[in-house]
Amino acid sequence: MAYLDHAATTPMLAEAADTMAALLREVGNASSLHGAGRRARRVVEESREKVAAALGARPSEVVFTSGGTESDNLAIKGIYWSRRSLEDGRRRVLLSAVEHHAVLDSALWLAEHEGAEITWLPVDEAGRVSADGLRAAIGGDGSDVALISVMWANNEVGTVQPIEELAAVAHEHGIPLHSDAVQAVGQLPVDFAASGVDAMTVTGHKFGGPIGAGMLLLGRDVDASPVLHGGGQERDVRSGTLDAPAVAALAVALEMATKEQPVRAERLAGLRNDLVRRVHEVVPDALLNGDPTLVSGARLPGNAHFSFPGCEGDALLLLLDARGIECSTGSACSAGVARPSHVLLAMGHDEARARGSLRFSLGHTSTPDDVDALIDVLPSVVERARAAGQ
Amino acid sequence: MKVLAALSGGVDSAVAAARAVDAGHDVTAVHLALSAAPASYRSGARGCCSLEDARDARRAADVLGVPFYVWDVAEKFSAAVVDDFLSEYAAGRTPNPCIRCNERIKFAAVLERALALGFDAVCTGHYARIIDGRLHRSVDSGKDQSYVLAVLRPAQLAHALFPVGDTVKAAIRREAADRGLAVAEKPDSHDICFIADGDTQGFLRKRLGDQPGSFVDAVTGDVVGSHDGAYAFTVGQRRGLRLGVPAADGKPRYVLDVSPVTREVTVGPAELLDVDVVTAEAPTWCGDAPRSPFSGLAQLRAHGEPLPCTATVEDDALVVRLHEPARGVAPGQTVVLYDGDRVVGSATIDNAAQ
């Protein structure tokens, strides 16, 4: 067995799982006023301080959520509504075409139902947005722009965006920038304050925390209208009883992941580079997608993404799965139908290249054995998938 | 054997796959996503595939402990089955889309892909049996689906498994329940899968548009009414004609002929529906071609009665002489020849005459 799908989810760190398991036996609603409530509240607030410190944010900027999708929805819809309510003409949403569906579909929903107008930011062949591209897309003084959203690093091809440069351009025009940093945290150094980003999406299960716990870092001067209404638990922006055990586990995992990030990134990049080199050796016509430089600041250290000409991604996946290799194709709809990746199409690749692609993503439990296992079976799998055609 | 089990999300294919597992095969399940509804932005968000069926299929695979994937064959299905369905109706014929799907999708595109990926056979929940490589009726005559499989050739049958064909449906439902398959009580599907609301006429009207024309009485030659599209009528149809002028003898009239070029639908008394000779094109054989003339049984529709006949092959046409006349035979339907319970072959009806 070789698990090469850490970008989908990565195993929980033992310390995080232990923290969560212990707290699951405790009673207490963090909003209650009695002792049990205060104990739960203390767990939440200590966790808030930990995650803020780990990511260069202030505790008051941490809004705990159920994960990446909720955080993206809150950022896109919430900031749009808030900015539009101040100035009705502010209806443009600028985003790259390589965003995750949680961002894309939130923005497209606003366009369909709330009068938003989407301006797509062009990406180059690596899937990267440029400061000049952003400036051109803003066009005039930017007073008609509600927000900009560009992910920190792409979930499919691993391309890292020049977030600080983009934030600087956004701020020249007084426009808030949201960044989905779901894939970046734990793999890259991420500092909320230093980056200049106004809102940032984080989810726990990509760095060893629990599934179902995440956060939106929301700058103190950035307003977002709520998506979930109710008790107003989180800064009146997000309602819902706080999941103290999950929040605590998230904080433990984040602290460990950020502390170990430089060492882990170097180790993963080494493994990944080995994987890329050996894939090219055994399948010479395999095409690496994304940034070809394989430098950590340019590409997520655990990411390798290939197209195999003449193959269907879902055929490769089935054959690898049957041989104990777990990886992924691009996005799948809820029924599990593989669609050509919108990311590869946005990067200018044709549908055949998009359909014949696979992502291998490494994480904290990855070993050289995992790479060996893949390389052992890959040539015969590609040959068979090629026979089945596109 | 390595077996690819097609799971529709229904009870029959789930039990078929379970039986393939029990037989010791290395089973992988796939659900075929057939319909690609246009989605507003995210392809697949709304009804890209029948989500509930896909979920039921996935649960069945979970219970059986076999890998599960969804194969997107919507594009091929649309071209090979739905477009064919529309063009056949537009040409005044009556197609059977299940036959086209078996012929062009399940035992063609899917089987070929399965073989290329290293599988030895495709397993489905069809009620039919393969005995010594030859296709036979199911033991459940009420559920028998050999008719819609009669387009398969020996090379396809050699890689097909129909594990439920030796059992009656009621027992399959009990078996599904005993196996803990949640689909045990799921209702049978009868309708055409790509016409979700069952309104075939509405589907045709939407896709083919209004093509107003006349009803003509076969006996008098008079125009006796008007309609919005000849494609909505099938030979033998009696209901929904809404004729303005009653027949002279007061007896009901039936559709006798559909002519899309002139947009004329000919109607007349029941006895004019009787046919003795059915001519069909491009026969295919499930085994060796029969000796000509062939004496046996002919079935003219999915749940029709088998009728004694004598059939001859003339050039590339099959001529079937029925010993007793049959009523309401439409061009486009399939005639299937049987030798007892064994399926001999099939052909698409071109013409039926008295």
B129 part of a folded domain = yes
B44/A108 CB distance under 8 A? no
Mutation target to probe the B interface, by most B beta carbons within 10 A, among A109, A112, A334 is A334
Q: Where are the alpha helices (DSSP H) in chain A?
A: 14-24, 35-55, 68-73, 79-86, 101-113, 131-138, 163-172, 192-195, 244-282, 313-322, 342-346, 351-355, 368-388
How many CA within 13 A on the CB side of residue B181? 29
Q: Are residues B261 and B284 in the same domain?
A: no
Whether residues B72 and A104 touch (CB distance < 8 A) is answered with no
Distance CA A176, CA A174 (A): 7
Indicate yes or no: CB of A339 within 8 angstroms of CB of B43.
Answer: yes
Q: What share of chain A is helix, strand, coil (3-state, %, to 5)?
A: 45, 15, 40
Kindly state whether residue B115 falls inside one of the protein's structural domains: yes
The pLDDT of residue B317 is above 70: yes
- Judge contact between A202 and A152, C-beta under 8 A: no
What's B244's domain CATH number?
Answer: 2.30.30
Domain around A54? 14-255
Q: In this predicted structure, what is the pLDDT of residue B290?
A: 93
- Radius of gyration, alpha carbons of chain B: 22
Residues of chain B in contact with residue A321, where contact means CB-CB under 8 angstroms, are 67
Q: B100 vs B90, B152, B202, CA distance in Å?
A: 17, 11, 21
Answer yes or no: do B58 and A336 touch at CB < 8 A.
Answer: yes
**Does residue A224 share a domain with residue A279?**
no
* Integer Cα distance of A142 and A92 in angstroms: 9
> In terms of domains, do A215 and A328 share one?
no
What number is the average pLDDT over the span A195-219?
A: 98
**pLDDT tens track for B245-265:** 777 788 889 999 888 888 999
**Domain shared by A223 and A274, yes or no:** no
* B227 and B326 in a common domain: no
**Residues B287 and B258 grouped into a single domain:** no
**B312 and B261 in one domain?**
no
Structure tokens at B258: 């559909």
Residue A215 sits in the same domain as residue A271 = no
Note down the domain range covering B26. Answer: 2-185
Residues with Cβ within 8 Å of B83's Cβ and at least 6 positions away in sequence, in order, are none
Residues B216-244: tens digit of each pLDDT = 998 888 899 999 898 888 888 888 887 87
- Check whether residue A24 and residue A149 sit in a common domain: yes
Looking at residue A377, which CATH number applies to its domain?
A: 3.90.1150.10
User: pTM of the full predicted structure?
Assistant: 0.90
CATH of the domain at A39: 3.40.640.10
Same domain (yes/no): B10, B95: yes
Mean pLDDT of A233-245: 96
For residue B48, the model assigns a pLDDT of 37
Chain-chain contact of B49 with A387 (C-beta, under 8 angstroms): no
Which value, to the nearest 10 degrees, does the dihedral of the CA atoms of residues B149, B153, B156, B157 take? 70
Interhelix angle B11-22/B51-64, nearest 10 degrees: 20
Q: Residue A324: its pLDDT value, please? A: 97
Least confident of A205-219, A245-259, A329-343, B3-17: A329-343
Contact at CB, A105 and B67, closer than 8 angstroms = no
Nearest beta carbon to residue B44 from set A319, A322, A337: A337
Residue A116 near residue A80 (C-beta atoms within 8 A): yes
Q: Are residues B219 and B329 in the same domain?
A: no
Q: Which residues have a Cβ under 8 Å from the Cβ of B195 and sit 6 or more positions away?
A: B203
Q: How far is B117 from chain A (nearest CA, A)?
A: 6
Q: With CB atoms and an 8 Å threshold, state whether A388 touches B117.
A: yes
Running DSSP on this structure, what letter comes out for residue A128? -
Which residue, of A237, A255, A273, is where some domain finishes? A255
Q: Which residues of B touch A339 (CB under 8 A)?
A: 43-44, 72
**Do A236 and A333 lie in a common domain?**
no
Burial A353-370 (b: 16+ CB within 10 A, else e): bbbbbbbbbbbbebeeeb
Other CB atoms within a 10 A radius of the CB of residue A140 amount to 8
Q: How many CB pairs under 8 A join A and B?
A: 70
Give how far B29 is from chain A: nearest CA, Å: 11
Residues B251, B287: one domain? no
Domain co-membership, A277 together with A128: no
Domain count within chain A: 2
A131–B contact, CB cutoff 8 A: no
Segment B325-330 shows an average pLDDT of: 88
- Give me the pLDDT at residue A87, please: 93
Q: What is the DSSP string of A221-264?
A: T-----SS-SS-TBTTTB-S---HHHHHHHHHHHHHHHHHHHHH
Structure confidence at residue B198 (pLDDT)? 79
Out of A27, A33, A86, A333, pick the active-site residue.
Answer: A333
Query: Minimal Cα distance from A102: which residue of B?
Result: B42
Choose the closest CB to B67 out of A321, A337, A339: A321
User: Do B44 and A339 count as a contact with CB atoms less than 8 A apart?
Assistant: yes
Closest approach of chain A CAs to the CA of B118, in angstroms?
8
CB contact under 8 A, A319 and B117: yes
A119 and A186 together in one domain: yes
Report the residue of chain A nearest B39, measured CA to CA: A333
Q: Is the pLDDT of residue B41 over 50?
A: no
Instruction: Give the pLDDT band of residue B292 (cuts 50, 70, 90).
Output: confident
Q: Is residue B195 part of a domain?
A: no
State the Cα–Cα distance between residues B229 and B213, nearest whole angstrom: 6
pLDDT the model gives residue A374: 98
Domain count, chain B: 3
Give whole-number Cα distances, B170 to A171, B190, B249, in Å: 70, 16, 46
User: Annotated catalytic, B101?
Assistant: yes
Residue B190 within any structural domain of the chain: no
Contacts of A231-239 with CB under 8 Å at 24 or more apart are A231/A31, A233/A30, A233/A31, A234/A63, A234/A64, A234/A65, A235/A60, A235/A63, A237/A63, A237/A74, A237/A78, A238/A63, A238/A64, A238/A65, A238/A70, A238/A74
Sign of CA dihedral A60, A63, A64, A68: negative
The 10s digit of each residue's pLDDT in B159-177 is 999 999 999 999 999 999 9
- For residues A236 and A143, membership in a common domain is answered with yes
**Are the Cβ atoms of A384 and B116 closer than 8 angstroms?**
yes
Q: Output the domain CATH number for residue B72.
A: 3.40.50.620
Average pLDDT, chain B: 90
pLDDT at B316: 87
Decide if B51 and A334 are in contact by the 8 Å CB cutoff: yes
Q: In this structure, are B93 and B176 located in the same domain? A: yes
In a domain, B205, yes or no: no
Question: What are the C-alpha distances in Å from A22 to residues A11, A36, A185, A193, B78?
Answer: 18, 15, 25, 33, 54
Residue B35 lies in a domain: yes
| Selected residues 153-172 of chain A with any CB under 8 Å from a CB in chain B | none
Catalytic residue among B48, B98, B101, B286: B101
Compare CB distances from A335 to B41, B51, B118 and report the shortest one's residue: B51
Contact yes or no for A108 and B41 at CB 8 A: yes
Which A positions 259-278 lie with beta carbon below 8 A of chain B?
none
Query: B285: domain CATH number?
Result: 2.40.30.10
Residues of chain A contacting residue B117, judged by C-beta atoms under 8 Å apart: 315, 318-319, 384-385, 388
Any idea which of A52-61, A216-225, A349-358, B194-203 has the lowest mean pLDDT? B194-203
CB burial of residue A293 (10 Å; 0-12, 13-18, 19+): exposed
Residue that finishes a domain, picked among A255, A276, A299: A255
On whether both B158 and B241 belong to a single domain, the answer is no
**Nearest CA of chain A to the CA of B113: how many Å?**
5
Q: What percentage of chain A carries pLDDT values higher than 90?
A: 94
Answer yes or no: do A125 and A237 share one domain.
yes
- Facing B33 at nearest CB: one of A104, A337, A388: A337
pLDDT band at B146 (very low <50, low <70, confident <90, very high): very high
* Residues B228, B212 contacting (CB under 8 angstroms): yes
B69/A314 Cβ within 8 A: yes
| A118 CB within 8 Å of a chain B CB | no
Residues A35 and A124 in one domain: yes
Minimal C-alpha gap between A303 and chain B (Å): 24
HEC per residue, chain B: CEEEEECCCCHHHHHHHHHHHHCCCEEEEEEEECCCCCCCCCCCCCCCCCHHHHHHHHHHHHHHCCCEEEEECHHHHHHHHHHHHHHHHHCCCCCCHHHHHHHHHHHHHHHHHHHHCCCCEEECCCCEEEECCEEEECCCCCCCCHHHHCCCCHHHHCCEECCCCCCCHHHHHHHHHHCCCHHHHCCCCCCCCCCCCCCHHHHHHHHHCCECEEEEECCCCCEEEEECEHHHCCCCCCCCCCCCCCCCCCCCCEEEEEECCCCEEEEECHHHHEEEEEEEEEEEECCCCCCCCEEEEEECCCCCCCEEEEEEEECCEEEEEEEEEEECCCCCCEEEEEECCEEEEEEEEEEEEC
Mutate to test the interface with B, among A93, A110, A320, A333 (most CBs of B within 10 A): A333
ipTM score of the complex?
A: 0.88
If asked whether residues B65 and B99 sit together in one domain, one would say yes
Range scoring the smallest mean pLDDT among A154-158, A214-218, A357-361, B312-316: B312-316
Q: Are B120 and B236 in the same domain? A: no
Residue B310 lies in a domain: yes
Instruction: Judge if A67 and A169 occupy the same domain.
Output: yes
B44 torsion bin: left (phi>0), alpha (psi -120 to 50), beta (else): left
B196 within domain boundaries: no
- For chain B, the residues whose C-beta falls within 8 A of a C-beta of chain A are 28, 31, 33, 40-45, 48-51, 54-55, 58, 67, 69-72, 113, 116-118
